[in-house]
Structure 1
Amino acid sequence: MFSLFLCGFSPVQKNVQSSLREDRGASERLQLFEKMNTMEVKLIPCCIFFILMAVAIKAQVNPEMCRYPLGMTGGKIQDKDISASSQWSESTAARFGRLDFDTGDGDGAWCPDIMTEPDGFKEYLQVDLRSLHFITLVGTQGRHANGMGNEFAQRYKIKYSRDGSSWLGWHDRLGKQVIEGNKNTYDVVLKDLEPPIIARFVRFMPVADASMSVCMRVELYGCEWLDGLVSYSLPDGHQMIYRGLDVFFNDSLYDGAIAQRLTKGLGQLADGTWGLDDFLHSQVHGVWPGYDYVGWSNKTFPKGYVEMIFDFDHIRNFTSMKVHCSNMFSRGVRLFRQVTCYFRSESEWESDPVTFRPASEPLSQSARFVTVPLGDRTARSIKCRFHFSDQWMLFSEMAFQSGSAVYNTSLSPHKHGQSKKTLLGGDPTHKVDDSNTRILIGCLVAIIAILLAIILIILWRQVWQKMLEKASRRWLDDELTARLAIQTQAFSFLQSSLSSDDGSTSSYERIYPPCANYQEPSRLIRKLPEFAECTEHLEPAASWGAAICSDSAPHYAEAHIISLQESSDSSSIRAVNMHLFAGPDLTLKEFPREKLTFKEKLGEGQFGEVHLCEAESMQDFLDEDLTMEGNSKSPLLVAVKTLREDANKNARNDFLKEIRIMSRLRDPNIVRLLAVCVDTDPLCMITEYMENGDLNQFLCSLRLKAQNNDKEKQEEGSDEVSSIKLLGMAVQIASGMNYLSSLNFVHRDLATRNCLVGKNDTIKIADFGMSRNLYRGDYFRIQGRAVLPIRWMSWESILLGKFTMASDVWAFGVTLWEILTLCKEQPYSQFSDEQVIENTGEFFRNQGKQVYLPKPQCCPDRIYNDLMLSCWRRNAQERPSFKEIHTQLMESMV
């Protein structure tokens, strides 16, 4: 399983458009070969990566590859291993401090009992990893709790311990201790630990500039520390003066006691980073010369050697030691001449050491790893004496290889039959019995054999794929046709089905003509209007609702309530425009900007931003039919949409046109434009905003009443709602959409997130959902460009790019389903985005395999069968109008 994970063997998702091009047999064969090709392409480099990973882990820990999540998110770290200094309540206990893990049984994060004070450092969240780990990365997150949380740690510190009693504070290579944390409640912020830490226990300690409440969710990234090294002791490094330059070879990362000799800590010799060939240069930017190395001059060691002691977490069977050394002999630095290592399992050092000399003096001045065989000696501590061969000796990294067995400390020390023996690196008779090496070699041979077999399979599959592909293309060219309607006046589509107005079946255009520029059916999604090239006969769309062809990539409507539905017939276009703009212009009063008080940022998009504000004296700027409820002296809650100051001319024209159109909308269930600020930049339009927010969040906070109480009046302030009340909300949405359809407007993004709730459960249709981060999961980005609410869209809107009043009816059916389920789950929540698009292909084929949204628990049968399912009919002309929907809902409430 581990090797499969490394090689990226995730289930291969089916292509977005493949379902439109195949019969049953050919479809299964083509999809099988496509999946195998995808896996085969990934297989070779990934398996090579796995081989290199195995060798790297065997030889040396690598911080660039040691970046695996250690189990806070996935649950590998158990609740009992997560503790904290305090907790605000049981629902914000330490066990809820898991990154990206927001369950319903808690409040979404760990929150301390008291507010974080400046420089207090008293509160912490502690994680016990149960063994030593090499930690290279940490991630933090605030308390989101599905939009209800608003606490996060802007900054924090980290403390760590290897034994649970001695705690050390982490700092970067330049001595900085505070780590920059989160700026909001939902985004994950990852921070590299430079340098990494080796620890079993880790504490996250929030830091605040002022007294404030904080909450945290965390994750640790790294890998298990296989060396088992818990500390080393050695003399402090020396200073070299080279051509007037001060070169410092001290262990600047050492986390133990620092005196003339460093004790009970770890530092640069165990940070996974080795030095460059030229010790005057470093892999770390902005540090002093010699930073990567710890080094000594032989002038201060009369015995001619440097003694180091290495302590481990338990008794191990050591096979070798790897030492990374500098060998720049032109500057008086050489490899060690000899090393003698003593071993200790209990209290006394063994009397028979292992001695090693490098085979020969290398001619190159490159730094290198020297492998010292340790002869399978059993010990918990190793003392090595490195002898000078020149004026200086410089080390940057040390690693130990040992067997995996844990030995009982009561056993006597391992004794060799021979006396002191010199292990010469050049002696061909000397062999080190390393069973782990044999196992690794066997694994590599097996993997190579598997790769050879896969290569043969790939060659065989490619031959058969070409043969099958040719046969499938002939079938596709003869049988499969579809129509991608492109209007001559704008990117608007008025046809409501695949039939013409006179009832005759329209002829289809071939999507894949049998010619040289034949395209795979998997590319069909790129033929959506949002990706169409601008041509000479196409005009830019006039409204916010349509995709506009410009220099930048088109983007699905960021914040639009409506789209002017233009017909290909010029007389129809003139009729619609005359209906909208007949009579004298409606002028909106300029509202003073200084009377707007910012309350909250609702969202942002390509056009600009949407803010929730309070407007003072708004009643004085409204017409009689726009008079709002409440005291004229009290501030009015409004939504302010702004245009970016750097917007181009087309965007400004579209913004002003939206103002002109919205100013003429007069319906109790449509959000109203109240005033504008257009005298100076940024341009603003001020619209209503209902006090209870959007319908999605409003319904999420409620629960359904028992059916026998449905007709009872809902108690004020109760968190229960009856099915009759829910149908009343749907009636209001249908009424507003009936008004828009009477004006030939297409909303294109009807959903509960785009409906606002006011007093007495008044519902008004708006358009802020797309611009809010809260609902970013409701939109699917195609090829990294167009963003579409595919779970609410009709099949013809997704596959053919057609947005009509009939497609709005489809979206209303989904919205009604949301209302009757109290928005407790996303539509088609059991499907991935690709599977949702694939299901639309089943609607296109109409072979009875399409999947509908299930009937909500409180939904009457007649509403689901006669209304909801009729909204999702394949033929757009057979779907009911909003007037019929409104009438049917009214009758169902009687």
Structure 2
Amino acid sequence: MKVMGVMQIQHHFLLVLLSAAARSQVNPEMCRYPLGMTGGQILDEDITASSQWSESTAPRFGRLDFDNGDGDGAWCPDGKSEADGLRQYLQVDLRSLHFLTLVGTQGRHADGMGKEFAQRYRIHYSRDDTHWVAWQDRKGQPVIEGNRNPYDVVLKDLEPPIIARYVRFIPVTDHSMIVCMRVELYGCQWLDGLMEYSAPEGHQMIYRGLDVFLNDSVYDGVASDRLTKGLGLLTDGTWGLDDFLHSPIYGMWPGYDYVGWTNRTFPRGYVEMVFNFDHIRNFTSMKVHSSNMFSRGVRLFRQASCFFRSEGDWEGDPVAFKHPADRISQGARFITVPLGGRTASSIKCRFHFGDLWMLISEVAFQSGSAVYNTSLTPRKRGHPTNALPGEDPTHKLDDSNTRILIGCLVAIIAILSAIIVIILWRQVWQKLLEKASRRMLDDELTERLAEQTQAFFFLRSSFSSSTTSSSEKAVGEGGGSSSTSPYERIFPLSGDYQEPSRLIRKLPEFAQSAENLVASRSSRLLLQQVGGPDGPPHYAEADIISLLDGPVSTSSCSSIAAFSLLASREVPVREFPRDRLSFREKLGEGQFGEVHLCEAEGMQDFLDEDASIERSHGGSPLLVAVKTLREDANKNARNDFLKEIRIMSRLRDPNIVRLLAVCVDTDPLCMITEYMENGDLNQFLHQLQLREAPTTEAEEQGEVVGNVVSYSKLMSMAVQIASGMRYLSSLNFVHRDLATRNCLVGRSCTIKIADFGMSRNLYRGDYYRIQGRAVLPIRWMSWESILLGKFTMASDVWAFAVTLWEILTLCQEQPYCQFSDEQVIENTGEFFRDHGKQVYLPKPACCPDDVYTDLMLSCWRRNAKQRPGFQEIHCRLMENAA
């Protein structure tokens, strides 16, 4: 049976690999290979420039981190800068179309004597060396911040990415400054071969008073009533979310990732798009990523008709494809349109409307000479490849990439077969070791719990006349980590991925102090069992474990007392009929499985009368969030899921999301929690504007009128969050992920704390993977949580101040938005060193000085013991709100 299971895993892995190859031509998260400026794969003759100082600063020396000793270490133009009217540039010819996602720059070092560098620069690119395009970021900014010294490498993500063969770096500096540059390009080959597409300009949708712009905002061709001679959102490698009102890219407007049209302006009932390629290809299929939010009048196209042209006129026999209407699942998806192996250099497709609106976010083509590859074949030095793909007049298709892919698959099968043998050989020993370790762990835990229970009763009798210790005192002092492994991105990377950025500088002071932190054996085992490989444990279960492992003190006794109190208060959780749950949308994927937004029919009658939830109007179904456990989850995951149900059922507070019911009679296991009608606080505030002065009675009372909110209402929201955290801290629970994305908004701006943020793709940019294991929100975390792995109520206080900053800025920016993730981590090192170089979040424009200075900055103190507790925070905010 175990051999069959391993074989199924092997088969599944191969299917995933093949489906990934067929689904999309490029993945921007993996397409980050250095293209050869440093390694020499880009030849000297392919690097040109507008001018040069001298032969020693020729364009061929403009290679990042490369010095052959013949030049001065960089390209330097013979002139000042763009400010003088001289548009100096360094040009790189990649010999074929490439998908570029990252650029790196340096200044001139000249064996330590160089002092010239480009503080800012622009990028121009071309696919045919005729039509040049000035690159702009997703918000229209054309200038890229460059270097601040001549030796450090500065890497900048290209958002949106570039599809080009020719790239120019144009320095933009003060006219009195001489510049020199060394550069590198990162990306992969653009095997799709798509040179341009044309389509009607997208339309604007008005949805419940919200303006939804569905235009192609990054199109690099001619934009008028019809887009021509360019590429844009449909080829940027980023797919839109299931809900088109949200975007996976932080800070973008509703509908940003989609190009959409309404059938009211198309009397023929279809949208016509034309795709032109670099040469004649044999097309097998077309992948179209489209939205299907039929509850908002958006459906998949019901039919696609594609015409083909090699040269001359369009062929008369199109390929027709009909897609059945889907009225069940509202998720966006890829639709595969078979193209039947037709040969052409241009394709014209007509997409027929299935409803009032049609929204498309990505289009990719598969052809006989364009199979996705996971490695870039370098060009050998001295052997330039001058011919572009497809210049053979017979138009024969190259199947070398297919042979390489088949060879890779054979090698993978051989490796997996060897792994099967190793797994079978180790299984017997693993069973014996697991049984022995579990017996030892159970015995040790039983002994430790007995000892701490005895100590608790002894200390309670000894200190019966004294006051109890403060509930704000930090618990869980163990669990530090001495690892100094570099951080890595959360996005999955292939085995041969080469990270272009340098490792984060290690902190010698931290490394010395971290060597002195030794966690107990039982604590490490417990955290490993609870945490799992997918991220940190849920806030409602992780810290009960931490209460049971550590020195016995008065704070530990109060923690154990709180745990004993909860254990004694068995709160029944009733089984809810599954057939009364109606799916609305998928919120995301969590540690155990998926999280869905559903409507629960008859939930109001099902609950107790004292349940503090928002009742729906007119007896309509109640909006709930349903967490499901994966059906293939192992025994440990099922136990953790049931443990979370038991603990969540005991939490009772008006500002904490409540567990309403469960579905555990059959698989999949489900827990049903309340969900507020206005969604999460981050998206709610992002659509609002701050009122300058109240003008009506409702505004005087701090209500949200239209899309305008008052300062007093913002403070009321903060008071509610502080109240909920005060309740959690009284039970010695550590949330670990407090942020506006984890707060839900109901009617009359009622706020309840939840934990859905990590599971939502919308907020994946807020999380970072540390040490290859835990996914952490580093921009909200205290320095000791990042560097020492300590999560306490004092670290929750730090996160609360960041959450308050989000509220007072209306979530218009991500915390430390001017910093990269690596720079955020480096800034935590400044908090650790405490040399006065640490950078704090700035004071929001509407924030009073006393709130920022006396409250927020006090929550960000280096010494965790000097930070205020949530009881004090709640009192201060109540005074300020009054």
Q: What TM bracket, shorter-length normalisation?
A: 0.3 to 0.5
Q: TM-score, normalised by structure 1?
A: 0.43
